[in-house]
Structure 1
Amino acid sequence: MPVPARRLPSWAWVTGLTVAALVVVAVLAGRATDGPRPTASPDPEPSASASAKPSAEPREPRPAAVPDGSGTGRRIVYSLAQRRVWLVDASDATRRTFAVWPGTVSPQPGTYKVSTRNGAVVEGSDGVKIEHIVYFTVVSGVNIAFSNAVDGSSPPPPADGVRTGGVRMKVADGDAVWKFGTAGTPVTVVK
């Protein structure tokens, strides 16, 4: 008389397969840590023995230093000449810096404060849909504010005589200014 085969319960199969999968992952992880590891230098300077072959990845230029005379502490710094903004934390460390497209009306160098903010999508004075609007001053009836185009585009050249005060930036930069530039945040404008 044949003896019926004993079947393993399903929990035993699941447990066995799980243990086997964990062993495979552990072995693969161990092999991965045995391989060569890339090393990075802070910002290597080119040398005479440097290879003439182009690099596979472009080197990022060093970020521009926060302009002298822009104050201390947590602030937004806007350089008119460099067309650049810095977000500076309370310890005077640059958290982010990026290029901007200024409007046709610029504020005078000085210190201002973020007065109001508008997170809604609205139409800018140039007809482009904008968001993350952070106002900090008014010049001759023109609001001066940081913003970004919703589609990420640079502003079109303004029509003759149109006065615009938007300091435009890329979407990710606009998001960063929106999060950083709460009401009352100092904005230092330098030449």
Structure 2
Amino acid sequence: MVVPEAVRTRPRVRYARISALVSSVAATAVATLGPLGVVDSATLAPTAAEAAEPAEPAGPPAPQAEPSRGAAVLSAAESTPYDAPIPTPSVEPVPEAPLPADSGEGRRAVFSESQQRVWLVGRGGEVRRTYPVSGSIYDNLDPGSYEVFSRSEQAYGIDDSGEMRFFVRFTVGDNAAIGFHSIPTKDGRRLQTRAELGTPTSHGCIRQALPDAKAMWRFAQLGDAVVVVA
């Protein structure tokens, strides 16, 4: 029976048999020609592993990996100086209210009825402190120069009108003394808020926030000058 070419089985290469044959031929050649000095036994005797291992076909060189564009972008981003200091815009300080002109000389406390503000002035004319206050809603204090004549760390208003602290008196009105003190409290509640300072709310005295009342208490001693300007 004739087997068609298409179905003939391709012969399988027997690498083990080839290796044995090559080794046998090499041994015979060395034994025959070696004593004559014709063949170098080290040259003709391949190892069994070399004879058995088939030669790999030479292929094209492995392609080199190209750096991705994303890696380049990341590298550039990493080098960006994010830690560089950001300049802070300069902020101009808000100027304080200037000391009124013609408000006396030397160490004194100045009260402006129109501005509802107090200035504590040192001996050299420097302003040590200025802050808003609440004067009288009535016209019962004339502009002029006065002196501190009485001080009370705690006092009470007439007709049970409230409790006040750090009272510094410098003149007398129709019914009671007039001076600087803290915002009065009654039944534990303040009679006005600090936000209302800067507008007239009292019945004759000059109300101050508690920190400012303490500052006035430390500053104004008996006999010190108080100047009231319109």
- Between the aligned partners of 1:169 and 1:135, the Cα distance in structure 2 is 13
Change (3 A) 1:39 1:88: farther
Task: Tell whether 2:147 aligns with 1:108.
Answer: no
- Between the aligned partners of 2:132 and 2:146, the Cα distance in structure 1 is 20
Structure 1 unaligned blocks of 5 or more:
1-35, 45-58, 158-162
User: C-alpha offsets along residues 130-159 of structure 1, whole Å, 9 cap, x if unaligned?
Assistant: 1100000113343211000366945489xx
Change (3 A) 1:148 1:70: same
Change (3 A) 1:168 1:126: farther
TM normalised by structure 1 equals 0.61
- Between the aligned partners of 1:100 and 1:150, the Cα distance in structure 2 is 13
User: C-alpha offsets along residues 47-71 of structure 1, whole Å, 9 cap, x if unaligned?
Assistant: xxxxxxxxxxxx6x32111100001
- The residue that corresponds to 1:49 in the other structure is none
8 Å CA contact 1:88, 1:95 repeated in 2: yes
Superposition deviation, residue 166 in structure 1: 1.6
TM normalised by structure 2 equals 0.51
- The residue that corresponds to 2:170 in the other structure is 136
Larger Rg: 2
The one of the two structures with greater contact order (alpha-carbon pairs below 8 A, sep at least 6) is 1
8 Å CA contact 2:184, 2:191 repeated in 1: no
Task: Tell whether 2:221 aligns with 1:182.
Answer: yes
Aligned with residue 169 of structure 1, among 195, 208, 214: 208
Q: In structure 2, what residue type is equivalent to 1:165? A: G
SS of 2:211's partner is helix
- The residue that corresponds to 1:77 in the other structure is 110
Q: In structure 2, what residue type is equivalent to 1:187? A: V
Change (3 A) 1:155 1:128: farther
Superposition deviation, residue 40 in structure 1: 10
8 Å CA contact 2:111, 2:228 repeated in 1: yes
- Between the aligned partners of 1:65 and 1:71, the Cα distance in structure 2 is 14
**1:10-25 to 2 correspondences below 5 Å:** none
Q: In structure 1, what residue type is equivalent to 2:148? A: V
User: C-alpha offsets along residues 27-58 of structure 1, whole Å, 9 cap, x if unaligned?
Assistant: xxxxxxxxx8x9997x63xxxxxxxxxxxxxx
Superposition deviation, residue 120 in structure 1: 2.0
Aligned residues: 134
Measured on the aligned residues, the alpha-carbon RMSD in Å equals 3.0
Q: In structure 2, what residue type is equivalent to 1:178? A: W
- Percent of aligned pairs sharing the same letter: 34
